[in-house]
Amino acid sequence: MATAVTAAVSLPSSKSSSLSSRTSIIFSDRINFTKSNVYSSGVSVAGKAVSIRAQVTTEAPAKVEKISKKNEEGVIVNKYKPKNPYTGRCLLNTKITGDDAPGETWHMVFSTEGEIPYREGQSIGVIADGEDKNGKPHKLRLYSIASSALGDFGDSKTVSLCVKRLVYTNDQGEVVKGVCSNFLCDLKPGAEVKLTGPVGKEMLMPKDPNATIIMLATGTGIAPFRSFLWKMFFEKHEDYQFNGLAWLFLGVPTSSSLLYKEEFEKMKEKSPDNFRVDFAVSREQTNEKGEKMYIQTRMAQYAEELWQLLKKDNTFVYMCGLKGMEKGIDDIMGSLAARDGIDWLEYKRQLKKAEQWNVEVY
Ligand SMILES: Cc1cc2nc3c(=O)[nH]c(=O)nc-3n(C[C@H](O)[C@H](O)[C@H](O)COP(=O)(O)OP(=O)(O)OC[C@H]3O[C@@H](n4cnc5c(N)ncnc54)[C@H](O)[C@@H]3O)c2cc1C
Ligand SMILES: NC(=O)c1ccc[n+]([C@@H]2O[C@H](COP(=O)([O-])OP(=O)(O)OC[C@H]3O[C@@H](n4cnc5c(N)ncnc54)[C@H](OP(=O)(O)O)[C@@H]3O)[C@@H](O)[C@H]2O)c1
């Protein structure tokens, strides 16, 4: 005989500088009665002989199991591996940056026939056609999925990516084109594409539909957030109705490289109380000190508000894009934390442990 008792304990956050008190983790304390010894003994009740089954139970030590605050249950990873990729087809490929933008970014949709069941926040691998300089097939490159699980056509049969074409000049002065990004940006509708995955759990959305979700993106780092935001504001789900605050910060070089701007404006129109968006256009805007407007420079303008939000148990921060942005964001958070006498790196460690600080930069 086994009995399970499940207790959910949520530790409240505090505005004090105590680090341990601000962490909120939900535990499931399962008390399993695993050993069950059953005895039978003959006794007499009202003159009749009856058999009584007496149960002796030995308690096993309580098992502490962490329940994720993110939408992790049933997430599939690595269904398709490099040796056995899924072959999809390009349905649409369109440049989404202006002609005068520094660099090109493309939005593309591939057919999956529902065979790559991904979730918002995951990535897929792409194996470019052709061979490397050693005559071997190209290695896979990872791309954050830019569509919600329903896909851009709403039928759960497609996956979309947002890809920057990598072109640079090497030390010898030669122009070098990145293998996979150029393969993808040049794909024509109808062409086949080898896909692997899905992979990744770091960027999965929080389960709480009332959460505050702060999204920090540079360039194509917008991909997972487009995926989140479609689910929140463009779709209807029986088991998920977003009613929290979604706040997006997006950093790009020029206004002609602002990605998915019209979509975000539509979301703002539809849900002004639940969505905020702030752009940082680095080569066109500056702050009052004349400094380049990076994403962290824009965030600094809302410093106090962001800091207060970060003290809430159901605020989740997600960061995606250029590796360099992480230090800049640490610097502003560090100065805010210091005003409250808090060591930011330790505070961030606690936030990470509570799944409230999620980073995928490259
Ligand atoms: C989890 C994850 C998600 C990602 N998501 C996306 C996404 O959504 N969109 C996206 O566009 N990218 C994304 N990337 C990056 C992507 O995986 C590829 O790295 C990118 O497209 C370049 O691949 P490539 O094959 O075109 O270039 P490659 O042929 O692999 O060439 C890249 C190499 O070129 C060299 N190089 C690059 N720039 C320079 C330079 N300026 N000077 C000298 N050498 C240089 C470096 O050695 C670099 O490793 C993601 C990466 C990860 C890890
Ligand atoms: N999941 C992931 O890991 C993931 C997903 C998607 C993309 N990525 C990666 O993210 C990167 C995005 O690049 P992109 O070419 O698409 O971007 P982009 O269009 O060049 O935009 C990047 C923006 O960030 C600014 N920036 C540069 N250094 C910065 C710093 N230290 N702090 C804050 N902002 C800074 C740039 O400003 P200036 O150019 O004016 O200096 C520019 O405004 C790529 O490296 C891509 O591989 C990773």
Å from CA of 121 to ligand 2 middle:
18
The answer to whether 164 touches 217, Cβ cutoff 8 Å, is no
Q: Judge if 261 and 350 occupy the same domain.
A: yes
Q: What digits encode the pLDDT tens for the residues 35-58?
A: 222 223 333 334 444 343 445 556
- State yes or no: 123 annotated in a binding site: no
**121 assigned to some structural domain:** yes
Distance in angstroms (rounded) separating the CA atoms of residues 360 and 216: 10
The answer to whether 94 touches 186, Cβ cutoff 8 Å, is no
Distance in angstroms (rounded) separating the CA atoms of residues 127 and 246: 34
The side-by-side arrangement of strands in the sheet containing 315-321 is 275-281, 245-252, 212-218, 315-321, 357-361
- Domain carrying residue 304: 212-361
Confidence of residue 362 (pLDDT cuts 50, 70, 90): confident
The per-residue pLDDT of the chain, averaged, comes to 86
- Bridging pattern class, strands 35-45 and 48-58: antiparallel
Averaged pLDDT, 57-81: 84
Looking at the CA of 256, which ligand is closest? 2
Give how many domains the chain has, as a whole number: 2
Q: Residue 343, Cβ neighbours under 10 Å: how many? A: 13
Q: Judge if 255 and 346 occupy the same domain.
A: yes
Q: Judge if 192 and 96 occupy the same domain.
A: yes
pTM: 0.85
Å from CA of 185 to ligand 1 middle:
13
**If you take atom 14 of ligand 1, which residue's CA is the nearest one?**
143
For residue 194 and ligand 1, the question of a CB distance below 6 A is answered with: no
Of 178, 199, 220, the last residue of a domain is: 199
For residue 297 and ligand 2, the question of a CB distance below 6 A is answered with: no
Distance in angstroms (rounded) separating the CA atoms of residues 78 and 140: 13
Given ligand 2 and candidates 141, 160, 220, which is best to mutate, with the most ligand atoms within 8 Å of its CB? Answer: 220
Q: What digits encode the pLDDT tens for the residues 110-119?
A: 999 999 999 9
- State yes or no: 282 annotated in a binding site: yes
**76 assigned to some structural domain:** no
Confidence of residue 9 (pLDDT cuts 50, 70, 90): very low
Q: Judge if 244 and 329 occupy the same domain.
A: yes
